[in-house]
Amino acid sequence: MSKNSFFNYFFHALYLFNAMGFCSNVLSNNVENYIVVNKKNVIHKFVPFDERTDNFIKYVFPNWENETFDVFDLVKDSQGIAIDLGAWIGTTAIWLAKNFYHVVAVEPDRVSLICLKQNLEASECQNTSICKRPIAHTNQNVIFGPLFSALNESTSAILKEHSYTIETITLKQILDDYVYTNDAIKNHKIAFIKCDIEGGEEDIIEDLLHFAYNNKTKVYLSFHLSWWKSKKITDFENLFKSFKTNCPEPNVSLYIRQNPFTSILFEPRNDDEIYN
């Protein structure tokens, strides 16, 4: 079963389950005309958008990726900066904004951007910046759009055809443009990076983890190995050894090969931990 087919089946089943009254974390869909959800002790307010998006928020989001929010709770830092690569409609950026000093939300899907801006404003997340360009290893013009049927489905990515042209941005440029040149936040540590970009992580893993190691930044990285061009996860084995992880197996690359859609928390080791 493809990831999209699985998602459609899962969302439909969860919709039916929760619609029968089992979804207790949706507080209201009438408060100030928002859909209000309490997730991991953070009130999220979403502006109604369309039927598919609204049903996701009401019936799926309350129980969506709970393990991701458990990781967020472990790494939260009220004085640190978080970078949300793949911010989608604000499902993760809102929680991060309530638990970090500032959040840079990176989301190039032009439909999702409408929701992201509205939802961050509705949830009173003034401590956020939005980058509208897809991240890549180099600056270049690329074709960006949905992996499957439509934009705003949390599966948009850099493609080859059937979408629109947009210029990419590197990690270095994101940090320069949105952190280091912002006097209000530039003295705060970049404490956490969350990356969920539908296979695009293949192009920036080295950039992310080298920066993370040198700056003692934690990274929560979602892998989509089946969507990679090379599938060569073993190319990063030595780099992975520089980090402590929450991977259930000691061999991270082997685990990812066996579980091609998985997310792992990387925490930089000290030098003496690596070489001893």
The answer to whether residues 101 and 52 belong to one domain is no
Higher pLDDT, 163 or 148: 163
The answer to whether residues 178 and 219 belong to one domain is yes
Tell me: the pLDDT tens digits for 95-117? 999 999 999 999 999 999 999 99
The whole-angstrom separation of Cα 14 and Cα 157 is 26
The answer to whether residues 115 and 203 belong to one domain is yes
Domain total in the chain: 2
The answer to whether residues 46 and 165 belong to one domain is no
CB within 8 Å of 46: residues ≥ 6 apart: 34, 35, 36, 37, 54, 57, 89, 90, 115, 119, 122
Write down the pLDDT at residue 272.
66
Write down the pLDDT at residue 92.
98
Tell me: the pLDDT tens digits for 250-271? 999 999 999 999 999 999 998 7
Q: Which domain holds residue 16?
A: 1-64
The answer to whether residues 38 and 163 belong to one domain is no
Tell me: the pLDDT tens digits for 11-53? 444 444 444 444 556 665 555 699 999 999 999 999 999 999 9
Domain boundary among 16, 48, 64: 64
The whole-angstrom separation of Cα 210 and Cα 171 is 11
CATH number, domain of 132, equals 3.40.50.150
The tokens of 248 are what?
């259930």
Q: Report, as an integer, the average pLDDT of 112-140.
A: 97
The whole-angstrom separation of Cα 242 and Cα 210 is 9
The answer to whether residues 23 and 126 belong to one domain is no
Write down the pLDDT at residue 3.
40
The answer to whether residues 109 and 168 belong to one domain is yes
Domain boundary among 38, 64, 90: 64
The answer to whether residues 124 and 223 belong to one domain is yes
Q: Does the pLDDT value for residue 136 go beyond 90?
A: yes
Do residues 81 and 101 make contact, with C-beta atoms less than 8 angstroms apart? yes
CB within 8 Å of 250: residues ≥ 6 apart: none
Q: Report, as an integer, the average pLDDT of 139-160.
A: 64
Q: Report, as an integer, the average pLDDT of 81-105.
A: 98
How does strand 141-146 pair with strand 164-167? antiparallel
The answer to whether residues 57 and 186 belong to one domain is no
Identify the residue whose tokens are 């009130």. 43
Domain boundary among 64, 93, 119: 64
